[in-house]
Amino acid sequence: MTEWEELDLLWGDAEEMSWQERALCAQTDPEAFFPEKGGSTREAKRVCLGCEVQAECLEYALLHDERFGIWGGLSERERRKLKKRAV
């Protein structure tokens, strides 16, 4: 791997972290974003609605196939449906 490729990887990681650091969920109870099966997602989704990085969060979850929790305002089931519609 060249030096430039390594820098690109590091820069990508830095960009990834910057949206995560700005996320409202980072300042909120994480348990709200990972409710027990059948538990309410209302509180987490409310936080997501006001978050400036909601789109980045959802994109991350879709690209990394996150299977648990609320990401970008959507539950795992909602993300699965969104992916199916996109295909």
Mean per-residue pLDDT for 69-85?
A: 94
Checking if the pLDDT of 41 tops 50, the result is yes
Q: Packing angle between helix 76-86 and helix 54-63, nearest 10 degrees?
A: 70
Task: Fill in the amino acid letter for 78.
Answer: E
Question: Which spans in the chain are helix H?
Answer: 3-22, 42-49, 54-63, 76-86
Q: Which residues are annotated as a binding site?
A: 25, 48, 51, 57
The percent of residues above 90 in pLDDT, for the chain, comes to 60
Question: What is the predicted pLDDT for the residue at 79?
Answer: 96
Local confidence band at 15 (pLDDT 50, 70, 90 cut-offs): low
68: Cβ contacts below 8 Å, ≥ 6 apart? 34, 76
Question: What is the predicted pLDDT for the residue at 86?
Answer: 80
Checking if the pLDDT of 7 tops 50, the result is no
pTM given for the model: 0.76
The pair phi, psi for residue 74, each rounded to 5°, is -120, 145
Mean predicted lDDT score pLDDT of the chain:
85
Q: Which residues are annotated as a binding site for [4Fe-4S] cluster?
A: 25, 48, 51, 57
